[in-house]
Amino acid sequence: MPFRFSRLEIPEVILVQPQALEDQRGFLLETYKRSEFAAAGIPDVFVQDNYSHSSRGVLRGLHYQKPPKAQGKLVTVFRGTIFDVAVDIRRGSPTYRRWVGVTLSSGDRRMLYIPAGFAHGFCAISDEADVIYKVTEEYAPELDRGILWNDPELGIAWPLHRPIISPRDAQLAPLERADNSFVYGGSRA
């Protein structure tokens, strides 16, 4: 069951469309196949899966994990609909401070690959949303960081006017003042 891979406006962020086998009983699809992902330019090995449940209006992010445990992510929605965002935080990158956002849903079954060096966030735009995302490094709380979801320098066009935010996320700094050591080209600051 092949996948379709589409590079977005920031080419390192890739939209993945799995192909389903459907009949009157339902469907079967592969959500990940290492050989096909590697052939499409995603050689990462995923080592941990995370599950998130959110109600309508919940916004989570913008989060990232610092090196040496920086995380690439593969985001999948198993129930509901989210608006998913990746922000390039690699200093020196031609797309530094730019963001891409896509709507992902259980209905369209699309996934989003976000490499290390990007902050990630999403908001639930359905009554409930269940999101599972694979990551390339295990969670390391001492390296967990984030950026303010409504940083005016980023100008993310969230589809919510008054999202439900955690106290931690509400206190995050804008990108300009964030604890960020990512540098374009794979080296660290």
List the structure tokens of 134: 């694979």
**Catalytic residue (choose from 64, 113, 120, 133):** 133
Q: Is 63 known to be catalytic?
A: yes
- Structure-token match 């639930």, residue found: 124
113 and 14 Cβ atoms separated by less than 8 Å: yes
Q: In whole angstroms, what is the distance from residue 170 CA to residue 166 CA?
A: 6
List the structure tokens of 78: 């198993």
A 10 A CB-CB count for 10 gives 20
First and final C-alpha spacing in the chain: 41
Q: What are phi and psi of 35, to 5 degrees?
A: -65, -40
**Catalytic residue (choose from 32, 63, 96, 120):** 63
CA 188 to mean position of chain CA atoms: 21
| Strand, helix or coil for residue 39 | helix
Annotated catalytic sites, by residue?
A: 63, 133
